[in-house]
Structures are given as C-alpha cells and as structure tokens.
C-alpha cells in the first residue's frame, strides 16, 4: 500500500485531517488550562494528549471504529497501571 492509499483510507475513517487536528488542538488547549496540568508527569500528559487525538478522530470520523475506542482505553490503562489504587 502506498502513502496515497493509506491517507485515503484514513480519511474515510477519521475525516479530513485539518478538521480532526482542529478538534484535537482545541481539546489539548482545554486540558492545558487545568490547574493540575503543570504538575502532571510527562507520561500522564502524553497519554492525555494521545487520548485527545483519538477523541478528535471519533468526533470527526467514524464513531463506530473500534480501534479508536480501544486506543483510548489503552492509553488510560498505561497510566492507571502506574498508580496505586
């Protein structure tokens, strides 16, 4: 599969990249104003930013696409596994 095919496939799943990026950046902007943002560990911030990208894909593209939801759960689990219940 060449890059054009990959991009066309992703576009069908996630919508236009510019639109998805706009949503993702808006979510990230909102997260960054949270009072705890500066004290989060780098892995916590990274997980939240990656989740924001997945949420934007869900909101802009196919909300029934399993992988997007599965990835959100995966990033959250990576952090949950570092915490003491």
Instruction: Note if the pTM is more than 0.75.
Output: yes
What torsion do the CA atoms of 58, 63, 66, 67 make, to the nearest 10 degrees?
A: -20
Domain ranges of the chain: 3-80
Tens-place pLDDT, residues 26-77: 999 999 999 999 999 999 999 999 999 999 999 999 999 999 999 999 999 9
Determine contact, residues 17/11, Cβ cutoff 8 Å: yes
Per-residue pLDDT, 1: 79
Closest CA to 23 of 47, 45, 54: 54
């Amino acid at each position: 599969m060449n890059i054009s095919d990959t991009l066309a496939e992703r576009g069908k799943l996630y919508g236009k990249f510019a639109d998805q990026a706009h949503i993702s950046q808006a979510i990230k902007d909102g997260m960054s104003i949270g009072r705890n943002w500066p004290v989060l560990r780098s892995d916590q911030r990274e997980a939240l930013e990656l989740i924001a990208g997945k949420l934007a894909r869900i909101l802009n593209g196919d909300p029934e696409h399993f992988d997007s939801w599965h990835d959100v759960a995966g990033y959250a689990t990576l952090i949950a596994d570092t915490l003491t219940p």
